[in-house]
Structure 1
Amino acid sequence: MGLNTSHRPVTEEDYNRVRELHALGMGRNAIAREIDRAQRTVSVIAAELGLVFDTSMTEDATRARVAQLAALRADTAVDLHLDALRLTQQMWEPATVFNFGGKDNTFAHREVAEPPAADKKALMTAAGVALEKSLKLVPPADDAGAEDAKSMLGKLMVGLRAAYEEAAGEEAGEEAEGESP
């Protein structure tokens, strides 16, 4: 049956069918399809007959969708926090600097111990944006949690820096050993 586009008057038969199908436990949309009437028409008939449709399934489905969206927001917030961590780690890792230029538009590159200051600024900006978006998706429950998180991130950054310096020191030591007579 197709969508009723005509403006045919509601009949006693429509009232009887709505009452009958409602008693069978059918929902408003199913009844509308069955009697080839608009959902609003079925709602009006049901209201006039004092019939109420069970909305618990719709409410449960809505709650489930809301919970699913909350979980997705939380997952995305975690991903953004991890992205921020990876971006800040890159500030202290070896990098390749490069340039295109000259009249022949040549490509030149070299490895450096860590990115130049401008690149570090860009990495920190990107990390800050990721953290900001994460906090908008899932704001901290209270300030104490935020302070704990800041403290943890601070300790993590100190630890990463120490690990980097230790690794850099070992590399320097290996080079010195290789140069000795």
Structure 2
Amino acid sequence: MAARPITDKDRKAVKRLHAQGKSRNDIARAIKRSPSTVSKIAAAFTPPLTFDRAPQVEAATRARTADLAARRAAFAERLQDIAEREADKMSAPTLYWEWGGKDHTYAQKLADEPTATDRRAIMSTIATAVDRSLKLVPPKDDGAAESRSVIGDLMAGLARDYAARHGGPPPEHEEPEADDDA
């Protein structure tokens, strides 16, 4: 069976649908031709029509990545809230209750704070929530490296100033000897 010839109607449809931003496969379905035929038609135009969607895909990927980062940050905040609520329970009055005995009686006691076993369980919950929160959104650099750099720059500047005023580097710092007589 011979391939169906490409018609002017096919060419016009490809050009129109391409201008609408349709993908090669969408155009192929719309004009009931194969994707390779649509590619042949698109390549015959001057300049050739392309179906390079890399910029759109890249933009969509950036948007999705940003959305996921925002969702992770929001969930990390929820985990931090859980940890903080659990920490409040560490020293809060705690109600203990039980059903028991042959008559299935109810008894309750208000303790000043949770038992050691309950405090361990609370600490475990806090640790898990904080750990997961930090894994979702690691803390930013606290600026310590930048502070060290600023202090280093300051010290180097002071040394240069000393050398300019005194004709040489500053003397090395020596620790005073401990007084053994005391």
TM-score range, shorter chain: 0.5 to 0.7
- 3-state SS of the aligned residue for 2:122? helix
Give the aligned partner of residue 117 of structure 1: 116
Cα distance between partner residues in 1 of 2:104 and 2:129: 35
Tell me the TM-score normalised to structure 2 length: 0.60
The offset of 1:69, in angstroms, is 1.1
Q: Name structure 2 gaps, 5 residues minimum.
A: 144-182
The residue type equivalent to 1:139 in the other structure is P
Separation in 2 of the partners of 1:44 and 1:81?
56
Deviation of 1:130 after TM superposition, in Å, equals 0.6
Residue 21 in structure 1 maps to residue 16 in structure 2? yes
Give the 5 Å matches for 1:80-99: 80-99=79-98
Query: Counterpart of 1:52?
Result: 50
Q: Secondary structure at the match of 1:12?
A: coil
SS in 2 for 1:140: coil
Gaps of 5+ in 1: 1-7, 146-181
Does the CA contact (< 8 Å) of 1:27 and 1:54 recur in 2? no
RMSD: 3.0
Measure the CA separation in 2 of the matches of 1:17 and 1:109: 83
Aligned to 1:35: 31
Question: Who wins on radius of gyration, i.e. which is larger?
Answer: 2
**1:12 equivalent in structure 2:** 6
- The separation in 1 between residues aligned to 2:107 and 2:36, in whole angstroms, is 72
Deviations along 1:26-63, whole A, 9 cap, x unmatched?
321542442245xxx43674277253225233432322
What per-residue deviation string (whole Å, max 9, x for no partner) do you get for residues 1-27 of structure 1? xxxxxxx96752496356423552432
Q: Is the 2:84–2:126 Cα contact (8 Å) retained in structure 1?
A: yes
Contact 1:95 1:111 in 2 (8 A): yes
Could you say which residue in structure 2 is the equivalent of 1:103? 102
Deviations 1:63-108 (A, max 9, x none): 2121111111001111111110110111111110112222333322
Which portions of structure 1, spanning 4 or more consecutive aligned residues, are displaced by more than 4 angstroms? 8-11
Residue aligning to 1:132: 131
Task: Name the aligned partner's letter for residue 51 of structure 1.
Answer: L
Give the number of the structure with larger relative contact order, counting CA–CA contacts within 8 Å between residues 6 or more apart: 1
Quick one: percent identity of the two aligned structures? 37
The range that moved more, 56-65 or 124-133, is: 56-65
TM-score by length of 1: 0.60
Q: Which deviates more, 73-82 or 51-60?
A: 51-60
